[in-house]
A and B are shown apart, each in its own frame.
Chain A
Amino acid sequence: MAPPEAAAQAPAESTPPAAGTVLEARAVSKRFPGVVALDNVSFSLRAGETHALVGENGAGKSTLIKVLTGVYRPDEGEVRMTGQQVRFARPFEAQQAGISTIYQEVNLVPLMSVARNIFLGREPKNRFGLIDFGRMHRETTELLDGFGVHVDPRRPLHTLGIGTQQMVALARAVSVNARVVVMDEPTSSLEPREVETLFRVIAGLRGQGIAVIYVSHRMDELYRICDRVTVLRDGRHIHTGDLAELNRMRLVSMMLGRDMAEVRRSGVTGFAAGGHDAERTPVLTASGLTRRHQLQDVSLSLYGGEVLGLGGLLGSGRSETAKALAGALSLDGGELTVGGRRLRRLTSAGAIRAGISLLPEDRKAEGIIPGLSVRENIVLAAMPRLSRAGVVSRRKQDRIVEVFMKRLRIKAAGPEQKVGELSGGNQQKVLLARWLCLEPKVLLLDEPTRGIDVGAKAEVQGLIDELAGEGLAVLLISSDIEELIEGADRIVVLRGGAVAGELSGDDVGESQLLEVLADHAPVPEGKAPAAQEDPR
């Protein structure tokens, strides 16, 4: 792994060593019930290049990867390998053809040793047909040494750090003659030192003519190691080209689907123009929220009567921050103050008692219970307050449910209809009602309008406006830039789990937000993590 490293360091200068196409998707489409995950997407990968695949949630990255690696079969279009059309029935067939995938969770057997994992299914045998462990350990050591990883081949895999486990997975992939390696967010749980090792290994792969598909949301990583980039959005192919010719702003705006030239306020959201009158003292103050690999020293304040937007790209720590505020994420450090009182132990129950309610991102998994009625779903969280000695007053329930169904304009046949039968927007309102009947002081909304239709969206947005107007402190997380800008009075932008900037007053605008997202705005000193150096 010596000569072609030059290309690794300066992707701008040259096309990768061998410019032949190894893997190609032609006009691939893939539909799932109710969703078009991939719509006529083409993608091509050259031998020896490191190709970034980027896009926001639901862009179709993982679907495309699954089509390429034999997990899914495309509904339309074809996959070609070195010019030949291929049809993989199982992931293993793709692997045999030379496409290996390194998953986020390492796909090896944790209890088995490093060497056994690398040679599983193709163990070296002695002349009696029995496994030759001496040779296996020797070859494992050689292989890993080549990657700059020095590890006892007898050690059980699960005793190693995630980074080293990934190296082992990579070593296995390379030793089964992989020609294409797919890496899905490989650095998301790595220490900076491990990241360096990984990058060195990737550079080595390039030297061997192995192509890498690299999925990541970390801009600086992409610009450091990738040659070309393909951007997907909403299942469609947006752009493919040399990464060096594309500045960060352009890249981010392509991912988010906003054109810099035409930033307009068209008022398509349900938010009223103009801000709210926020109070002077914060209802909730978080300082120094820290959790390994996810949050780094996040501090923010929330005032009654305002909507605070939380901006950031996928993986920037938005949902984690909301969860931390709601006591639903165990932290390594940081503290919360609500209404002047510091919360001693951060638990969900404690946060709810303190008046903090979280509307989670995934309402199907973490929120509604589809088999229960509207009434039951609404009063669920309020049960303790509605009951005396464990007996729940039905009359009180009915009163509350009636009030909220009217106030939030929940469209259901009646309070006894099953929530699973309602539309997405109405389900979301039921969830809102559940938390509102606790009379919270702080409402944390994680993607409150995702997956609901336009009309309901505007209604939910209007509601958020109303609630803030009534003095509630609202935290709004949204990937919809328009929603964020029009809905929020102030926006705190996260990047890589740390606060990257804050926009308030007249600065709350699309171009300003995009600049902070793309890392073009000055980062507040001391807030950026060390890994976030800007390689411009």
Chain B
Amino acid sequence: MNETTPAPVAAVPAPKKTPAPAGGGAPREEPAAETPLKQRLAELVQRQGVLAVLLAVILVASFVYPTFATLDNARGVTVQASFLAVVALGMTLVIITGGIDLSVGSVFALGGVLAAWASQWGFFTALLVPLVVCGAIGLLNGFLIARAGMAPFIVTLATLLAARGLLLALTDEGATTYLVPKDSVFAELGQGSVLGFGYPLLIALVLFGAGGVLLQRTSFGQSLFAVGGSSDAAGLMGLPVARTKILVYTLSGLLAGLAGALNAARLSSGVTIVGVGMELDAISAVVIGGTLLIGGAGSVSGTLWGVLLLAVIQNLINQIGSLNSSYQSVVSGGFLIVVVVAQRYLARSRRTT
């Protein structure tokens, strides 16, 4: 370039007089103004890939199985999926911070039993008791992870076991079943519907809307991304890293408890055997939805599509009928692998741009 610069004392002032174009390294050369197409494509696939797959599956299924594309089926599938969706919403936030919450399945079941038990004292206790207890478990998770510096995997594995144990103790090892009073307001919360779409679904949608705003449009949401993207950098920028983590695990516990309570209201009883392995379904839905398992990037909308995709696959396998329903896990597992491989590939192609 400008290797003939005689002496810097004379050479440097030049760019000052003509700020932008001239001078040693003209800033205009910066190939920055527009994000490259390949880049944006990769991001689009990352963000909306699931949605495309979901729509394709729904489209094909509608043609092949006439019973699939009915309003009744849609109502059934969506309300079934709404409990996992609420749990996966919390999981999304946790995974964006680079953590994991394995306790949600047990907490979900515990929340259901607590809600059914407390529903004898009315609507508000039925909601309050599970929220307080499950929120406290989440808080404990967060505290141990953020303040004691323990690994999220271990801490939440421990609370997974503990919550399941607590649940068994409460129900005399499953011998006692608490029932939600018939025709109570709380039962209505699980079983009522608007235009045939159950309240749990509507609640899940409202929560996803709120979650989306929280994540994208608030400082707290930004700090989740920052903590997951680079915890050190977040700390150096003065973000409350520990507080953010504690809050996000508490949120996850609260959401899992709420989902459990809604499920109990729908089933009219606190069923002890639900939620086993639910944490893994939630993680699958989150990852299929394009959230990076290492943290730092993700969206709640992707998770919503991920949950729906899992639900549709299950529904389809039920529709086929001849296929053993256990194959649902095989198919979901396959999707998970495809998505993770695609994420790695996309991440690599982006790094080289």
- Which residues of A are in contact with B by a Cβ distance under 8 Å? 5, 8-10, 91-92, 95-96, 107-112, 116, 120-121, 123, 129-131, 148-152, 154-155, 158-160, 164, 172, 192-197, 199-200, 203, 224, 530, 533, 535-536
Contact = CB atoms under 8 A, between A and B. Distances in A.
Given A121-B238, A151-B32, A109 B297 contact: no
30 contacts: A5-B13, A10-B9, A91-B235, A96-B238, A109-B225, A109-B230, A109-B296, A111-B229, A112-B222, A116-B225, A120-B234, A120-B239, A121-B239, A131-B216, A131-B222, A149-B30, A150-B27, A150-B33, A151-B30, A152-B34, A155-B32, A155-B35, A159-B39, A193-B1, A195-B25, A196-B25, A197-B25, A203-B12, A530-B1, A535-B8
Interface string B88-119: 00000000000000000000000000000000
A116 B229 CA distance: 12
Interface in B215-237: 216-219, 222-223, 225-226, 229-230, 232-237
B230 A116 contact: no
B183 interface: no
Interface stretch (B14-22, B139-147, B250-258, B331-339): B14-22
A192 B296 contact: no
Could you say which of A109, A151, A196 has the most chain B C-beta atoms within 10 Å of its C-beta? A109
A10 B13 CA distance: 10
Contacts of A160: 32
Contacts of A96: 238
A150 B30 contact: yes
Contact of A149 (B32, B238, B292): B32
A91 B239 contact: no
Contacts, number: 131
A141 to B, nearest CB: 10
A365 B33 CA distance: 43
Nearest to B238: A92
Interface residues of B, number: 50
A181 to B, nearest CB: 14
A120 B3 contact: no
Contacts of B219: 121, 123, 131
Contacts of A9: 9, 12-13
B225 A151 contact: no
Given A110-B230, A116-B225, A148-B20, 14 more contacts: A9-B13, A95-B236, A95-B238, A107-B233, A111-B292, A121-B222, A131-B218, A148-B27, A152-B33, A193-B29, A199-B12, A200-B23, A224-B12, A535-B7
Contacts of A121: 219, 222-223, 226, 237-239
B232 A107 contact: yes
A130 B23 contact: no
Nearest to B216: A131
B24 A150 contact: no
Contacts of A152: 32-35
Contacts of A151: 30, 32-33
A158 B351 contact: yes
Given A120-B223, A195-B25, A159 B233 contact: no
- Identify the interface centre among A111, A112, A535: most chain B CB within 10 Å of its CB: A111
A533 B3 contact: yes
A530 B8 contact: no
Nearest to A130: B217
Contacts of A131: 216-219, 222
A403 B27 CA distance: 64
B28 interface: yes
A172 B234 CA distance: 13
Interface of B: 1, 3, 5, 7-9, 12-13, 15-16, 19-20, 23-25, 27-30, 32-36, 39, 213, 216-219, 222-223, 225-226, 229-230, 232-239, 292, 296-297, 350-351, 353
B41 to A, nearest CB: 13
A109 B25 contact: no
Contacts of A159: 35-36, 39, 350, 353
B8 A149 contact: no
B37 to A, nearest CB: 13
A224 B8 contact: yes
Contacts of A150: 27-28, 30, 32-33
A533 to B, nearest CB: 7
A200 B233 contact: no
A8 B296 CA distance: 40
A196 B28 CA distance: 13
Given A8-B12, A159-B353, A199-B12, A530 B225 contact: no
Nearest to B19: A148
Contact of A197 (B27, B216, B226, B237): B27
A159 B29 CA distance: 16
A200 B15 contact: yes
Contact of B236 (A92, A158, A200): A92
Nearest to A10: B9
A112 B16 CA distance: 32
A196 B24 contact: yes
B34 A130 contact: no
Nearest to B229: A109
A159 B350 CA distance: 7
Nearest to B7: A535
A95 B30 CA distance: 29
Contact of B296 (A5, A10, A111): A111
Given A95-B236, A151-B30, A108 B230 contact: yes
Contact of A110 (B32, B229, B236): B229
Listed residue (A120, A129, A192) with the most chain B CB atoms within 10 angstroms of its CB? A120
A27 B151 CA distance: 41
B163 to A, nearest CB: 32
Contact of A196 (B7, B23, B223): B23
Closest 10 CB pairs of A and B: A196-B25, A193-B25, A109-B229, A151-B32, A148-B27, A196-B24, A130-B217, A111-B296, A92-B238, A535-B8
Contacts of A8: 12
Nearest to B29: A193
A200 B35 CA distance: 25
A120 B9 CA distance: 39
Contacts of B239: 120-121
B343 to A, nearest CB: 12
Given A196-B23, A196-B24, A107 B236 contact: yes
A289 to B, nearest CB: 22
